[in-house]
Amino acid sequence: MRGALVIVGALAALLLIGIGSWAGWAEAGVLLVGGIFVASMLWYPPPLLRAVSSVLLAVFLFAFLQTVAGPLVGVVLAVGIAGLAWRFLPLRVHRRIGFMVPSMVMLVFVTTILMYKAPGSPFAAEKQTTQQALEAQAKKFKVEKTPLAFFNTYMKGLLLEGTMGLSVKVQGRTVEQLLLPALPVSMSLGLLALVFATFLGLLLGVRAGLKPNSAADYSSMGLAMIGISLPNFVIGAILLIIFSYWLQWLPVAGWGSYGHLILPSITLALPYAAYIARLSRNGTIEVMQQDYIRTARAKGLSEPAVVLKHALKGAVLPVVSFLGPAAAGIFTGSFVVETLFAVPGMGQWFVKSALARDYSVVLGTAIIYFTIITLFNLAVDFAYAWIDPRVREEM
């Protein structure tokens, strides 16, 4: 154990020195403190953990609600919800929250460092290039000189003023004005894709798994292989040509009607549907060899009843634990799909702003993505514990 601690400690120190000399010593110091804070929570006694995570939750909720609904509502709701959480939520959820909120702050910080280290600046394309004009611009948009200073200003704005900052590229707009309309677009696209992926994947996978090495198996798995082996933007473009240009059943690109949702979400879903198909095929094959399936058959259940009531649960388990990573992949996979179909969602904003070095918009997308994915993972964990009692004990 001692040897390991020495090795790991030495490597961590090396990493820190690397970061320090590359991005600045103050930045490395903040990262170290943040890391120690998050790690130290493993040693907190339960009451302390409960209190700390509730406070963190209150701060997080306040920052969020204040931006959406104003400071007064923010305080009341944040304190209220955090109080309820403190009183009623089980310890394992507190452990999660205590991890999630500081992680998000760290993520904002790391993102800031990465953006500042990228060559170029938000004002690179401006015509007025005198030093004074640039400084005035930087001051107006609160673009500081070092990542740490920027992070500081950004966090202050978020907590004290309830704003995610001004966009440099879209003049006169705040980040929340840009991103809040894009959020439902990306969410509906992502959720629909997730539903498509799960149903299509389970359908193919269970069908294949019930009769291994049959024609049904090979055709389903062949389809899944195509889904995994071709970039989905190629499949999406082909679908676009077929359904929008030739058959003219669906609108070409953009956003607004239900028709606009179909092709992007199918395109987004395909690789995950393929992966889910493979997982559920293996799950089904394994389950069908279990004793309780033989029992179910022996007591005279019809084959569909055996599959639906008993086998499906086993086939679904590996899929459920894949849903967390899948959601993360789908939400960020939308970077590509939104660009291809010109969907005005969060992914477009991220890619555009990252290329234009519009720092505060990038940070805004980072926070929103991270929140969505963390919440989704939490939900998946609960779903898993609900389906599989063996996990429930551990949690």
CB 232 within 8 A of CB 337: yes
Q: Give the number of C-alpha atoms closer than 13 A to the C-alpha of residue 228, restricted to the C-beta side.
A: 13
What residue has token string 């997308």?
A: 365
Residue type, 395: M
In the complex, the smallest distance separating the C-beta of residue 387 from another protein, rounded to whole angstroms, is 20
CB 159 within 8 A of CB 63: yes
Q: Considering only residues 24, 29, 318, 325, which one is a binding residue for another protein as defined by CB under 8 A?
A: 325
SS3 for 170? Answer: coil
DSSP for 354-372, please give it: HHHT-HHHHHHHHHHHHHH
Reading the block at residue 46, the tokens are 């339960």
In the complex, the smallest distance separating the C-beta of residue 343 from another protein, rounded to whole angstroms, is 14
SS3 for 166? Answer: strand
Beta bridge partners of 166: 174
In the complex, the smallest distance separating the C-beta of residue 328 from another protein, rounded to whole angstroms, is 5
Residue 220's nearest CA partner among 230, 231, 211, 233 is 211
Q: Which span sits near another protein by CB under 8 A: 33-41, 133-141, 147-155, 198-206? A: 33-41
In the complex, the smallest distance separating the C-beta of residue 302 from another protein, rounded to whole angstroms, is 25
In the complex, the smallest distance separating the C-beta of residue 8 from another protein, rounded to whole angstroms, is 7
Q: Considering only residues 10, 26, 39, 195, which one is a binding residue for another protein as defined by CB under 8 A?
A: 39
Output the CA–CA distances (angstroms, integers) from residue 239 to 243, 250, 335, in the order listed.
Answer: 6, 10, 18
369-388 footprint of another protein as x/- string (CB under 8 A) = xx--xx--x-----------
Of residues 38 and 312, the one with the C-beta less far from another protein? 38
Q: Which span sits near another protein by CB under 8 A: 135-143, 188-196, 199-207, 229-237? A: 229-237
In the complex, the smallest distance separating the C-beta of residue 3 from another protein, rounded to whole angstroms, is 6
In the complex, the smallest distance separating the C-beta of residue 180 from another protein, rounded to whole angstroms, is 19
- 241 makes contact with another protein (CB under 8 A): yes
Q: Which span sits near another protein by CB under 8 A: 139-147, 185-193, 237-245, 255-263? A: 237-245
Residue type, 367: I
Q: How far apart (Å, rounded) are the C-alpha atoms in residues 165 and 142?
A: 8
72-111 footprint of another protein as x/- string (CB under 8 A) = ---------------------------xx--x--xx---x
Helix 259-288 and helix 215-229, axial crossing angle in degrees, nearest 10: 130
- 124 makes contact with another protein (CB under 8 A): no
For residue 242, give the DSSP letter. I
SS3 for 326? Answer: helix
Report the number of secondary-structure helices (H) and strands (E) in the chain.
17, 0
127-166 footprint of another protein as x/- string (CB under 8 A) = ----------------------------------------
Q: Which span sits near another protein by CB under 8 A: 37-45, 84-92, 295-303, 313-321? A: 37-45
Beta bridge partners of 93: none
176-215 footprint of another protein as x/- string (CB under 8 A) = ------------------------------------xx--
Q: Which span sits near another protein by CB under 8 A: 185-193, 315-323, 350-358, 386-394? A: 350-358
Residues numbered 279-298 forming contacts with another protein, rule: CB under 8 A: 282, 285-286
Q: How far apart (Å, rounded) are the C-alpha atoms in residues 139 and 134?
A: 9
User: Following CA atoms 206, 208, 212, 217 in sequence, which dihedral angle do they give, to the nearest 10 degrees?
Assistant: 180
Beta bridge partners of 174: 166
In the complex, the smallest distance separating the C-beta of residue 28 from another protein, rounded to whole angstroms, is 16
- 246 makes contact with another protein (CB under 8 A): yes
Output the CA–CA distances (angstroms, integers) from residue 36 to 23, 188, 292, 394, in the order listed.
Answer: 19, 37, 48, 26
- Which residues of this protein are in contact with another protein, per CB under 8 A? 1, 3-5, 7-8, 35, 38-39, 42-43, 99-100, 103, 106-107, 111, 114-115, 117-119, 212-213, 225-226, 228-231, 233-234, 237, 241, 245-246, 282, 285-286, 325, 328-329, 331-333, 335-336, 339-340, 350-351, 354-355, 366, 369-370, 373-374, 377
